[in-house]
Amino acid sequence: MAGAADMIWQLWNAGEVIDSLPEDLRPRTRDEGYAVQAELEALSKRPLVGWKIAATSKAGQQHIGVNGPIAGRLLAQRVFDDGAELAFGANRMRVAEPEFAFRFGQPLGPREDAYQIDEVLAAVDSLHPAIEVPDSRFDDFASAGEAQLIADNACAHEFVLGPATSADWRDIDLSKHKVSVEAVGGDQYTGIGSNVLGDPRIALLWLVNEVTGLGLTLNAGHVVTTGTCAEPLEVEPEDEIIMNFGDLGTVEMTFTG
């Protein structure tokens, strides 16, 4: 699996794409896809920031051609703070996505029984508004297939983490919470938490059980971003992006050329 990871890593850093991985490197199953992804983490050589979920909404599933969610890693060199200026580069997906992100205060490790939502939420320290800027190393990502997209780090590219909300988010029904999505001077519309597997907290639970089911631990400090709660916002170079989560705060970023 190291050969596949090396190829994806080189493509990612060069802003290049391929049709598909060579036959002898191509993962065929979810487990093989995750094995390639683990090698990407090793190539990063920096501590893992956390995890992302792709395709937690119907729009997200249609966008990358899968029938359900897949998990990816948030790599440190691709994670930025609120207000970041990011080079648009060769991004082919050309979208930005508003996401509810949770930071863990306590670790959750592998075990025989699936985690339940109450114990997962009890391990969370803070909630953050966030923006994901996805991309793929496959030219036609919608036809690459689940295993290759998992190997491709679930279409991870760049991620902007907003400040922890000061609101009492545990008393808010996140499934009904609306988010304003805006490219300044361009498109503006609204998303809602229910677009994320019905509730961002349900998406968080899914991620925890997916990752611990792989025999891995979510460490204290790890961030989990739960997938887009709105139709992906089409973006262009020089766009200023504002995702307004209302009482939960705002996160912003700007694309340079």
pLDDT tens digits along 54-110: 988 777 777 777 888 999 999 999 999 999 999 999 999 999 999 999 999 999 999
- Go through the chain and tell me how many residues it has: 257
234 bridge partner residues: 95
Q: What is the pLDDT of residue 124?
A: 98
Pairing of strands 50-54, 79-81: unpaired
The answer, yes or no, to whether residue 39 has pLDDT greater than 90, is yes
DSSP, collapsed to helix, strand or coil, labels residue 156 as coil
Residue 180: pLDDT band (50, 70, 90) is very high
CA 199 to the chain's CA centroid: 16
* Of 80, 61, 88, 104, residue with least CA distance to 211: 104
Write down the mean pLDDT value for the chain: 95
CA 2 to the chain's CA centroid: 23
Higher pLDDT, 168 or 56: 168
Q: Distance between CA atoms of 241 and 16, rounded to whole angstroms?
A: 25
* Of 160, 181, 190, residue with least CA distance to 243: 181
Residue 17: pLDDT band (50, 70, 90) is very high
Name all domains of the chain by residue range, CATH numbers in brackets.
2-256 (3.90.850.10)
Q: Count of H helices and E strands in the chain?
A: 6, 13
Q: What is the pLDDT of residue 56?
A: 84
Over the stretch 208-234, which tens digit does the pLDDT of each residue have? 999 999 999 999 999 999 999 999 999
